[in-house]
Amino acid sequence: MPGPWESHICPGCACLCDDLDLVEADGGLQAHNVCAWGSAKFLGSKKFHPGQPRRRLTAPFVRRRGRREEVSPEAALAQAAELLARARRPVVFGLTACGSRAQEAALAVARHLRARLEPADLNLMAPYYQALLTAEIHHASLEVLRDEADTVLYWGANPLHSCPRHLTRYTVFARGRFTERGVEDRRLAAVDLHRTELARFCQVFVRVAPGADLELIRAVQGVLSGASRATVTGAVRLAEFLRHGEVGVIFAGRGLAVGAEALARFAALGDLIRVLRPARRFFLLPLASDFNSAGLYHLLLTRLGSPWAPDFGEGDPPVFRSQPVRWEEVDALLVTGADLFWLLPEETRRDLTRRQVPVVAVGPWEDRTVARAAVALPAALEGIEVEEVAYRQDGIPVCLRPVLPPPAPAAHQVLTQLLEISS
């Protein structure tokens, strides 16, 4: 294993930190400047339990009479192609935690299968990009925010759990060109269901009831524009907090993506930014945690022109679906770049299992989806074992370089082979 590698890019989360130093130690890899999340990927441990090893998917298998049978990659691909070709309503799910080449290959597979492509974080990112298109929200890179932002608001987001180095590298503690004193030059606020670790750094922390975000956003906007008096707890404090900023940013997290009001919430945040903007510079960014979530929406927007889930079931060009997929209609699944059975509610998991919906899983880990898969194909870790391209959460593309030999082909190679066999 040659090395050391300096300034390596971490594929752990959407921060894509570019300051990792990797050295060989005790026959393995030692990663410097990597958080617990990134470290889990480099060291092969569980994300929330650093001491516990995470099992790799080492060989392709097909499930026959409930038992896993290891087969050749060609046999597994043929079985996967057959299962997916038989389906009337197939869905290609995930794609937020895999590289851009894999996403492109998955889009081609979805088009060929006449399937629906369902991003794992559709409810968070698609409404954001829709708001970006319609509300004329300005865009800024994380470096610009580090240098200039004096007002930071996390809404429905806890970066310490989704992107642990976000505060350190870009938003609160980093010292930038016009924020030379770091945290002392900035003001931080957060809105969340529960009091989180962020609260200890916040000038304003507002606890919001489940489902009350939209009302609060509109109330803050009303106070700022002088159109109405606050009727929601915390609205005045938030409005005053935002009013006193010169350059600010609102990071919207998964808390805003819950339920059917996601699009309305992002539209309201867009309106809020518009109210703030004449006298100040304010930005809105989603706090995506999967390392290439932005890359998927970049692909959808540049290739298809819409951030919503493309459904090729009725032909090409696709129909764009803004509502999450109705799982009871799905009769085959191709999952890559996400652990679907970890994300789904128990009731839906049981329903998919009861109906024996065939699942084809492509990925590096033995996760819950692989445990239920009819066919599973191992893939290499992108950015550690194979080269890939990923987009940081602010939309900056970066090239991920490998440092270890791959034990399996890259996900984009597997998906391309699947497409070739299916054609």
Partner 1 sequence: MLTAPELLEFLPQTDCGQCGMTCADFAGLLLARDLSPADCPVLHEPEYAGFIEALEELLATAPAAGRGMAIDPARCIGCGICVAMCEHHLAQVPEARAGRGPGLGDRVIFRVVNGQVVVVNQELCVRLLQAAEKCSKCAEHCPTEAITLR
241 binding partner 1? (CB under 8 A)? no
Pick from 11, 14, 42, 152 the residue near partner 1 by CB under 8 A.
42
3-state DSSP assignment of residue 123: helix
404 binding partner 1? (CB under 8 A)? no
Best CA proximity match to 107, nearest among 99, 117, 94: 117
Q: What is the dihedral of CA 65, 409, 56, 355, to 10 degrees?
A: -30
175 binding partner 1? (CB under 8 A)? yes
Q: How far is the CB of 44 from partner 1 (least distance, A)?
A: 11
The neighbouring-strand residues paired with 191 are 155, 206
Number of DSSP helices (H) and strands (E) in the chain, helices first: 15, 21
Q: Which residue, 34 or 267, has its beta carbon nearer to partner 1?
A: 34
Which phi and psi (to 5°) does residue 383 adopt?
85, -5
11 binding partner 1? (CB under 8 A)? no
259 binding partner 1? (CB under 8 A)? no
Which contacts (CB < 8 Å, 24+ apart) does range 27-35 have?
A: 29/1, 29/403, 29/404, 34/10, 35/164, 35/165
Contact at 8 Å (CB) between 71 and 62? yes
Pick from 116, 146, 281, 321 the residue near partner 1 by CB under 8 A.
146
Contact at 8 Å (CB) between 296 and 119? yes
Q: Which residue, 13 or 107, has its beta carbon nearer to partner 1?
A: 13
Q: What is the dihedral of CA 184, 34, 389, 397, to 10 degrees?
A: 10
# residues contacting partner 1 (CB under 8 A) = 39
Among the residue ranges 194-202, 291-299, 346-354, 405-413, the one whose residues contact partner 1 (CB under 8 A): 194-202
74 binding partner 1? (CB under 8 A)? no
| DSSP 8-class letter at 327 | G
Q: How far is the CB of 96 from partner 1 (least distance, A)?
A: 21
Pick from 14, 16, 38, 92 the residue near partner 1 by CB under 8 A.
38
Best CA proximity match to 94, nearest among 66, 117, 63: 117
Q: How far is the CB of 351 from partner 1 (least distance, A)?
A: 35
80 binding partner 1? (CB under 8 A)? no
Q: How far is the CB of 368 from partner 1 (least distance, A)?
A: 23
Burial class of residue 56 (count of CB atoms within 10 Å of its CB; 0-12, 13-18, 19+): middle
Pick from 69, 70, 136, 197 the residue near partner 1 by CB under 8 A.
197
Token pair in block for residue 330: 């799905």
54 binding partner 1? (CB under 8 A)? no
Contact at 8 Å (CB) between 45 and 29? no
Contact at 8 Å (CB) between 252 and 271? no
36 binding partner 1? (CB under 8 A)? yes
Q: Which residue has the tokens 């569980």?
A: 46
201 binding partner 1? (CB under 8 A)? yes
67 binding partner 1? (CB under 8 A)? no
258 binding partner 1? (CB under 8 A)? no
Q: How far is the CB of 15 from partner 1 (least distance, A)?
A: 11
- ω into residue 409 within 30 of 0, thus cis? no
3 binding partner 1? (CB under 8 A)? no
Token pair in block for residue 414: 């597997």
Among the residue ranges 73-81, 175-183, 227-235, 236-244, the one whose residues contact partner 1 (CB under 8 A): 175-183
37 binding partner 1? (CB under 8 A)? yes
46 binding partner 1? (CB under 8 A)? no
Using CB under 8 A, list all residues that contact partner 1: 4, 6, 17, 19-21, 23, 30-40, 42-43, 50, 146, 160, 164-165, 167-170, 173-176, 182-183, 197-198, 200-201
